[in-house]
Amino acid sequence: MTDLDTAATTIQTFLNDLASGESTPGGGAAAALTGSQAAALLSMVLNFTVGRKRYAAVEEEMRGHLLRTEEMRTELLAFADKDAEAFGAVAACFSMPRNTEEEKAARTEAMQVALRGAAEVPFAIAALCADLLELAAPIAEKGNPNVVSDAATAAHLAHAALNCALVNVDINLKWLNDDAFVTETKADVAALRETAEKSYCAARSACTETLGVEI
């Protein structure tokens, strides 16, 4: 995609771009878009809950969750473009000249900067997806049970998006020379995975309890 604006792109166009021989958009953008869909589904459950007398006792809590899911829906959609831009910066480094030692050094430095950005963006996507997973359980427990299957779908999508985003973190860390940054980020990734798995299990349990079917 030349002019990155996933929000203004049709689904068909995005999928065509994803399937093309171009390097962007790629897996990170797909993860961000998937996370955005998860947020939208949680918002759907909340919109079927807020303002209804039956759920008056949890109205304030659900409205707070709705504000957050809508924020994350927008943020994740924007990250689809940010991820493509970050990878584009990496790709641009390959065309830099390397005829002299100075040019080689400049190319290496630019590549390291770009790789760091290409790791930071998908980590941010994964962190947002972890936040969605944390919200899925209380929404499934207290939201309108008629649409909790959509909360279950959101949990599965957010979990998949998180893991896909972290693949992109790991692959970029592999080529970074900044040992301190790599070590710190790997620790952050491990902690995020652990937290997200707990939230995912809680969400599945809550959805199963509400729906009466294993999800």
Give the pLDDT score at 3.
58
Is the distance from CB of 143 to CB of 151 less than 8 angstroms? yes
Domain extent listing, the chain? 23-211
Q: Distance from CA of residue 17 to its chain's centroid? A: 19
Decide if pLDDT at 4 tops 90: no
Determine the residue type at 165. A
Decide if pLDDT at 194 tops 60: yes
The C-alpha torsion from 135 through 138 and 140 to 141, rounded to 10°, is 170
State pLDDT tens for residues 50-93. 999 999 999 999 999 999 999 999 999 999 999 999 999 999 99
Report the b/e string of 118-130 with b at 16+ CB within 10 A: bbbbbbbbbebbb
Among 3-12, 132-141, 172-181, which stretch is predicted with the lowest mean pLDDT?
Answer: 3-12
What pTM was computed for the model?
0.95
Look at domain 23-211 and name its CATH class. mainly alpha
Give the pLDDT score at 2.
44
Decide which of 24 and 63 is more confident: 63
